[in-house]
Amino acid sequence: MTVRYGIGLGGLWLAALAGCTEPADGTAATGTPLLRPVDAPTAAESSDPPAYRLERVGPSGLSVAVPGAERVLAAAPLRGGTVAFVTHEGFDGTLALSAGDECRTLDTAVVPELAVSPDGTRLLYPRRAGDDVELVLAEPSRGRREVVGRGPTADRPVFRPDGEAFAFVGTNAGGLASLFVIDGPGPARQVTNVGLQGPGLPAGFVPPPLRAGDLAWDGGRLVYPAPDGRRCEVDLAAARGTCAEVRP
């Protein structure tokens, strides 16, 4: 699944689409979720997030509105036809689940950024908790929810293709935004900027990806473009990252 995220942890808003785009030929299977803009395009420098109306493809092939999803910031399809979506309520929103004609709230104070496991059963999302951000791993069909990361930053989650691990951007003990991975029992494991301290950017600092969608798993590595255009590679076993200029 190609997933794009709406990131609202400060600064600019990015595209808030997550596997819910309309097919180019206008046809789709019954139940397919669609996001349609409800406002004029948002200027790039605006702090206002773009809002969408969530619809589903009905049995007739025509799209029908999902109740309670008139202004949506992000959405993602789960297994069994359920759709998770974040509604527009100020800077953050409410995370809800829609299945058929039923809709229920899953969480509040949610930052509109969703990652779905490859099998469609689990959901990662950040939410605000006072001055911190929590990264939550939820399995809605079983009513399970667990905080797997917390700090000034805990966002941009992405699952490994086999669904058995995931990475996210958190804050290390030195106050630097860094990559963390959960790939087994126990707490998150820091894999970039280990031992480095702020303030400022010390020598050897590896910047995190700007978007979760920039992260790609490549065997035992994570690769992504840095905000300055360099290519970054992270050796997960060694917990070490490097960035280099991209040569033509």
Start-to-end CA distance of the chain, whole Å, equals: 29
Instruction: Write down the pLDDT at residue 15.
Output: 32
- Per-residue model confidence as pLDDT tens for the chain (248 residues): 323 333 333 322 233 334 444 443 455 677 777 888 876 554 445 456 678 888 888 788 888 888 878 888 888 889 988 889 998 766 678 999 988 778 899 999 999 899 999 999 999 999 999 999 999 999 999 999 999 999 999 999 999 999 999 999 999 999 999 999 999 888 999 999 999 999 899 999 999 999 999 999 999 999 999 999 999 999 999 999 999 998 87
In the chain, where the domains are located = 1-151, 156-248
Q: What is the pLDDT of residue 11?
A: 27
Residues 6+ apart with CB under 8 A from 142: none
CATH architecture of 156-248: Beta Barrel (2.40)
Cα dihedral 236, 239, 240, 246 in deg (nearest 10): 30
CA dist 173 to 189, 192, 195, 198, Å?
Answer: 12, 12, 8, 9
Query: Whole-model pTM?
Result: 0.82
pLDDT of residue 126: 96
